[in-house]
Chain A
């Protein structure tokens, strides 16, 4: 098992290198040079060129790329922001926890809601409960997050005044954004859990369990659930990636100083080092989550586990 973890960790290195390369290339393809961006269009041409030279922008693309890479690897230096001229790394790490709480919180909430309601619907197939939650899931899967966020804000902050509508000052600020972000994921997971559960219940080994004299509760929790959850776990990893992306929108809606709002403002102002570093961090995070998902999958599925332990 340790060898498997180690191998998977090593495998993330080329993925991350690839991500760095892609981000760097795309940012380089965009028009404009750092000198102009920092000093402004009206600045003296010679000053701009001097700054470009200082930042190494006059060198060829590949040289710049390897310099960038070397800075990251050997000095853990992601460059300075064009806007604020402070190290990007610092700026990101002030904001990162907010995004992290939001994404992890909404992932947890959507998993708990989605999986439990999915099981409930499958076990009571065609009942009122099933129909109700299936329709609700369709509704929440269909409505866009920013709209739901605005509506929740309207009801809970403006009308009822129960929860703050923006900021990150206390845990209460996270309730509405987390709820908004988890709605879509919960809906998707609920529908997936319901269908895999229904499929599992029809399997022969479920009939075997019943023929042994197992009670319905044992059949569902012991025999069906573990099998039904395998595809759900894979999808949970994917939806975490989606919720990182969704966090960008939700943070903007709720005015939270997170990684998402940081990326959005950085893109608007063409702050290349900031965008690159933030994107890089998101991709590393995504790789790690996928690793956790894979390990969980192997832990639950003996067929996969056997392949790596032996």
Chain B
């Protein structure tokens, strides 16, 4: 891997995360590499349990303390290895350099603290200029206005807001310190479809205005297509396909898993009577298959697939990378 250059914001190399309990060890993330430049947006798609959220939590070092552990790999933010940072410096990164939006806005806001105070807290935690109370309040109002909520509502409690409004509050809280990277974990999954479109449009507008880099985690290709420059498809803790949004979403060459994912989206044109899901289930993360993790469900399975873990191959002259034996030399295509 190349040394961190000026433009690289986030660099994850060979990340392995396990959740360990007395009963079993769950291999949640198994060798993920991600590079994200300033101002770019990356979509992380995959089924539930593919390890998307775990990657995000690793970046903030917020894995469940007792069970979650990064077993291998490095994460660098702005060139600094965060795995070895003391907790105090890590807290400065959280919310200031990297902030995160969680899936369910209804439970992501503290029910007994006013939304204004919750936004103000984010500002005060990273305040280096010694802002006065009035300045902080002004900033809170500014943030609310930015996400389209009347500033007067800052004294309201979360339960007085609708789901879409709550997510706007969460977003304004996450953006309050002008972070370099915003991780949005299923930002619209808990919302109505109409509200989803609004929130996505708003996120895209803010991203363009503020130049914040973003990682959007979703199981919905639509959401990713709306917001992202790059897309990574995750399966069983690995990135099986990576490329620009165009390459992954509109291209012709894909990992068999991505093909399966697209195949399972019902089309308006075809007269399908039934949905066509990918056969089988994701492998048990406590006992992963030795070779390609998708092999048991793959329609193109070869002998080598069950024995040997595939490498990641660069396809064409673009950014497209696929982890599959089909694209290796001397085998198949």
Interface residues, chain A, CB within 8 Å of chain B? 126, 203-205, 207-215, 222-223, 226-227, 300-303, 306
* Interface members, chain B 93-133 (any A CB < 8 Å): 93-96, 99-100, 102, 104, 107-114, 121-122, 125-126
B107 lies within 8 A of A204 (CB): yes
CB nearest to A305 among chain B residues? B157
Q: Is B216 an interface residue (CB 8 A)?
A: no
The CA of A13 and the CA of B121, in the complex, are separated in Å by: 45
Contact of A211 among B60, B92, B104, B114 (CB under 8 A): B60
Q: What is the minimal beta-carbon distance from B61 to any residue of chain A, in angstroms?
A: 10
Q: Which residues of A contact B160 (CB under 8 A)?
A: 306
The 10 closest A-B pairs by CB, nearest first: A213-B95, A213-B94, A204-B107, A212-B95, A302-B157, A205-B110, A213-B91, A211-B100, A212-B122, A208-B108
Q: Which residues of B contact A215 (CB under 8 A)?
A: 91
Q: What is the minimal beta-carbon distance from A259 to any residue of chain B, in angstroms?
A: 37
Q: Is B223 an interface residue (CB 8 A)?
A: no
Contact of A213 among B93, B109, B170 (CB under 8 A): B93
B121 lies within 8 A of A214 (CB): yes
Q: Which residues of A contact B159 (CB under 8 A)?
A: 302-303, 306
The CA of A203 and the CA of B122, in the complex, are separated in Å by: 18
Question: Number of contacts between A and B (CB, 8 Å)?
Answer: 74
Q: Contact mask B162-204 → A, CB, 8 Å, 1/0?
A: 0000000010010000000000000000000000000000000
Q: Contact mask B131-167 → A, CB, 8 Å, 1/0?
A: 0000000000000000000000000010110000000
Q: Is B62 an interface residue (CB 8 A)?
A: yes
CB nearest to A200 among chain B residues? B110
Contact of A203 among B60, B94, B107, B126 (CB under 8 A): B107
B109 lies within 8 A of A205 (CB): yes
Q: Which residues of B contact A302 (CB under 8 A)?
A: 111-112, 114, 157, 159
B92 lies within 8 A of A213 (CB): yes
Q: Which residues of A contact B99 (CB under 8 A)?
A: 211-212
Q: Which residues of A contact B93 (CB under 8 A)?
A: 213
The CA of A215 and the CA of B104, in the complex, are separated in Å by: 23
A213 lies within 8 A of B112 (CB): no
CB nearest to A206 among chain B residues? B110
The CA of A135 and the CA of B91, in the complex, are separated in Å by: 35
A223 lies within 8 A of B110 (CB): yes
Q: Which residues of A contact B91 (CB under 8 A)?
A: 213-215
Q: What is the minimal beta-carbon distance from B112 to any residue of chain A, in angstroms?
A: 5
The CA of A300 and the CA of B122, in the complex, are separated in Å by: 22
Q: Which residues of A contact B110 (CB under 8 A)?
A: 205, 208-209, 223, 227
The CA of A300 and the CA of B114, in the complex, are separated in Å by: 12
B108 lies within 8 A of A210 (CB): no
CB nearest to B126 among chain A residues? A213
B157 lies within 8 A of A214 (CB): no
Q: Which residues of A contact B126 (CB under 8 A)?
A: 213
The CA of A203 and the CA of B109, in the complex, are separated in Å by: 10
The CA of A229 and the CA of B255, in the complex, are separated in Å by: 51
Q: What is the minimal beta-carbon distance from A278 to any residue of chain B, in angstroms?
A: 40
- Most chain B CB within 10 A, of A205, A208, A210, A300, is at A208
Q: Which residues of A contact B95 (CB under 8 A)?
A: 211-213
The CA of A213 and the CA of B111, in the complex, are separated in Å by: 19
Q: Which residues of A contact B100 (CB under 8 A)?
A: 211
The CA of A72 and the CA of B126, in the complex, are separated in Å by: 63
- Most chain B CB within 10 A, of A205, A211, A223, A300, is at A211
Q: Which residues of A contact B125 (CB under 8 A)?
A: 212-214
